[in-house]
A and B are shown apart, each in its own frame.
Chain A
Amino acid sequence: MQKENVANVANYLTYKGKHKGLLGWVLSTDHKRIGLLYLYSIMTMFSVGVLLGLAMKFELLAPGKTIMEAQTYNATFTVHGVIMIFMVVIPGLPAVFGNFLLPIMIGAKDVAFPKLNLLSWWLYVAGVFLVLSAVIFGKGAPDTGWTFYAPYSFKTGTNLLPAIFGAFILGFSSILTGLNFLVTIHRMRCPGMKWSKLPLFVWTLYGTAWIQLLATPVVGITLVLVALERMFGVGVFDPALGGDPILYQHLFWIYSHPAVYIMILPAMGAISEIIPTFSQKMIFGYKAIIASTMAIAFVGYLVWGHHMFTAGMSGTAQYYFSLLTFIVAIPSAIKVFNWISTMYKGSINVQTPLYWAVSFIFVFLIGGLSGLVLGSLAANVHLHDTAFVVAHFHYIVFGGTGFAFFAAAHYWFPKIYGRMYDKGWANAGWLIFFIGFLALYTPMFYLGIMGMPRRYYDYLDDFHGGNILSTFGSWIMVTGLVIIIINLIRSARKGPAAEINPWRGKTLEWTVSSPPSLENFDEIPVIAEDDGPYNYK
């Protein structure tokens, strides 16, 4: 039975359609193949981003120049940020696991617009190449930071325009994915799949899709304005021409703060799938999690100004943004409460995805609480643009999205490839990664409080100890990462055949073959009135 699953010629991995070989993948409109195209593209870019991060940490091993000049360091943290934000964490979970699982989880054969889905991936690839061309060609890699702040973004002599246009095109990819998911969830749910029976991962994809659709155009237009400012000096952001550089920050963060929720909402959705499965228990507060998801998506639109407390905003706006920042923490806390309550008195099955999920909660809590420190006006004045912000940001984005990504990868791996990974290596990889993560980012909280600024390639001797620990942490973390990735790649090719439902999950993807057939279901499923996604009775 298990061998038959892997050998199943009709599954999406072995299916041979109009095109064969590589073309059969890059021209495929199958949502599962597109999900894997995203997986391989994103992991490639993630590896590049990690290497740049390693180089930065190596530079900070000792004060003064270690391996690179200041200008190279500026370019390194800019390209690291652009890659990790626009090419990895924003598309990350929605484009990979959303594409692969959304139609299956709602009982559909594909997304609403399969060709648009493929176009999204091609736009992603085009955006990646444009950004990389900025690094390779022209007058040097961009050095503005991933935020492209005005007025420096139109003053710098580095090769910024291709990076801006690349980010613009990546935005289109994101918008089309969001549109596709919205229509799919509204129109393609199988009979009986009411809104109140949607898996929580689907709900979070729904909230995310709204943000992708509504917020991304703002940054697109803003980046076009920066390009026009650079090329023609139109004077929107340039104070010398009557423009306002703070307007740039408003427009940039009107997108980029909701973008944090594009990153974190699907991550929360994946965790909300994993915890009930490995607790073998109905999720605690299903409706509360849905309400908090939509609340995060909504309130997340309205708090962007907390990135600009020291930029010269009015006091009124600062009070407002600080207040709403504290309010947006509430729905996130509701989720944490629900996850922990789900595990309480559950029949807990400790497996690799659960290790990732529980460590996600741990690092997300620290990241979230340190965000409240930064949301407080007085503390922000002291901590703004210090290493504390970098630590907070990586705890939330890497600790949140990254941990959830690996949790999801280990959870759905047997479904995606029809094979099981080596659990011993997977657990070892997680442990080493987790220790490395803590060692890498925790010292930055201390360094930031002590006054070490971010984005500097040099520092005072007082900060040396913390930086040594942080750099060693980066080496430990990458060791864990290498183990995890090698284990998954090897297992995808040679792992033992996986069962259809190895974790005893209750959502629809665990009812189809592993790997799924080309059209997912032989017959569109019908959800019974008393059935539900977490029905463990």
Chain B
Amino acid sequence: MSEEKHHIVPYRVYVFVLLALLALTFASIGITSIELGEFTVAAALIFACVKTFLVLTYFMHLKYDKKYIVAMVIFVFAIFFAVIVITFLDYLYR
């Protein structure tokens, strides 16, 4: 463990990510003023997904972590996705 290198991320990267998150937050609020019909929820979820990606990649250091850690996170999201899809096998065909 002791021989592992710690990647130091410059402050400006964190500032850029923070600004991006703020911009996306305002955008997700702003888009509700546009009538998107059944895509309203999808739009909100897309913004949320992009923000989640940024937080995981930079704030939680996934970009600089070992690949197996990234694989574990992807695995968790895959399970989550599968559970949602399977649940909708009920709701879409009921």
- Check if A214 sits within 8 Å of B79, measured CB to CB: yes
Q: Report A162-189 residues with CB < 8 Å from chain B CB.
A: 187
Q: Report B35-94 residues with CB < 8 Å from chain A CB.
A: 76, 79, 82-83, 86-87, 89-94
- Check if B83 sits within 8 Å of A317, measured CB to CB: no
- Check if B86 sits within 8 Å of A314, measured CB to CB: no
- Check if A187 sits within 8 Å of B1, measured CB to CB: yes
Q: Which residue of B lies closest to A313 (CB)?
A: B90
Top-8 shortest CB links A-B: A314-B93, A316-B93, A317-B90, A314-B94, A317-B89, A313-B90, A314-B90, A316-B89
Known: A214-B76, A214-B79, A301-B79. A313 touches B94 (CB 8 A): yes
Looking at the assembled complex, report how far the CB atom of A221 sits from the nearest CB atom of chain B, in whole angstroms: 13
- Check if A254 sits within 8 Å of B83, measured CB to CB: yes
Whether A246 is near chain B, meaning CB under 8 Å from some CB there, is: yes
Known: A214-B76, A254-B83. A246 touches B90 (CB 8 A): yes
Question: 1/0 per residue A91-117: CB within 8 Å of B?
Answer: 000000000000000000000000000
Q: Which residue of B lies closest to A320 (CB)?
A: B89
Interface of A is mostly: helix
Residue among B76, B79, B82, B93 making CB contact with A317, cutoff 8 Å: B93
Chain B residues within an 8 Å CB radius of A250: 87, 90
Report the interface size class on chain B. Answer: 10 to 19
Whether A17 is near chain B, meaning CB under 8 Å from some CB there, is: no
Looking at the assembled complex, report how far the CB atom of B83 sits from the nearest CB atom of chain A, in whole angstroms: 6
Q: Which residue of A lies closest to B80 (CB)?
A: A214
Known: A313-B94, A316-B93, A317-B93. A302 touches B86 (CB 8 A): yes
Whether A315 is near chain B, meaning CB under 8 Å from some CB there, is: yes
Chain B residues within an 8 Å CB radius of A187: 1
Given known contacts A254-B83, A320-B86, what 5 new A-B pairs fall within 8 Å (CB)? A246-B90, A301-B82, A305-B86, A313-B94, A316-B93
How far does the alpha carbon of A305 sit from the alpha carbon of B83 in the complex, in Å? 11
- Check if A302 sits within 8 Å of B90, measured CB to CB: no
How far does the alpha carbon of A214 sit from the alpha carbon of B89 in the complex, in Å? 21
Q: Report B1-31 residues with CB < 8 Å from chain A CB.
A: 1
Chain B residues within an 8 Å CB radius of A246: 90
**Contact residues of A with B, CB < 8 Å?**
187, 214, 246, 250, 254, 298, 301-302, 305, 312-317, 320
Q: Which residue of A lies closest to B90 (CB)?
A: A317
Known: A187-B1, A214-B76. A315 touches B93 (CB 8 A): yes
Could you pull out 16 A-B pairs where Cβ atoms are within 8 angstroms?
A187-B1, A214-B79, A246-B90, A250-B87, A254-B87, A301-B82, A301-B83, A302-B83, A305-B90, A312-B94, A314-B91, A314-B93, A315-B93, A316-B90, A317-B89, A317-B90
- Check if B1 sits within 8 Å of A317, measured CB to CB: no
How far does the alpha carbon of A305 sit from the alpha carbon of B85 in the complex, in Å? 13
Chain A residues within an 8 Å CB radius of B92: 314, 316
- Check if B82 sits within 8 Å of A302, measured CB to CB: yes
Looking at the assembled complex, report how far the CB atom of B51 sits from the nearest CB atom of chain A, in whole angstroms: 20
Q: Which residue of A lies closest to B86 (CB)?
A: A302
How far does the alpha carbon of A313 sit from the alpha carbon of B94 in the complex, in Å? 6
Q: Which residue of A lies closest to B69 (CB)?
A: A186
Chain B residues within an 8 Å CB radius of A312: 94
How far does the alpha carbon of A298 sit from the alpha carbon of B72 in the complex, in Å? 13
Q: Which residue of A lies closest to B68 (CB)?
A: A186
How far does the alpha carbon of A298 sit from the alpha carbon of B82 in the complex, in Å? 11
Looking at the assembled complex, report how far the CB atom of A83 sits from the nearest CB atom of chain B, in whole angstroms: 28
Q: Chain A CB within 10 Å — which of B79, B82, B86, B92 has the most?
A: B86
How far does the alpha carbon of A50 sit from the alpha carbon of B91 in the complex, in Å? 40
How far does the alpha carbon of A302 sit from the alpha carbon of B79 in the complex, in Å? 9
Residue among B1, B76, B83, B89 making CB contact with A314, cutoff 8 Å: B89
Looking at the assembled complex, report how far the CB atom of A510 sits from the nearest CB atom of chain B, in whole angstroms: 27
Chain A residues within an 8 Å CB radius of B76: 214
How far does the alpha carbon of A40 sit from the alpha carbon of B94 in the complex, in Å? 47
Looking at the assembled complex, report how far the CB atom of A77 sits from the nearest CB atom of chain B, in whole angstroms: 28
How far does the alpha carbon of A317 sit from the alpha carbon of B83 in the complex, in Å? 12
Q: Which residue of B lies closest to A316 (CB)?
A: B93
Looking at the assembled complex, report how far the CB atom of B44 sits from the nearest CB atom of chain A, in whole angstroms: 19
Q: Which residue of B lies closest to A187 (CB)?
A: B1
Looking at the assembled complex, report how far the CB atom of B13 sits from the nearest CB atom of chain A, in whole angstroms: 27
Chain B residues within an 8 Å CB radius of A313: 90, 94
Looking at the assembled complex, report how far the CB atom of B82 sits from the nearest CB atom of chain A, in whole angstroms: 6
Looking at the assembled complex, report how far the CB atom of A194 sits from the nearest CB atom of chain B, in whole angstroms: 14
How far does the alpha carbon of A257 sit from the alpha carbon of B83 in the complex, in Å? 13
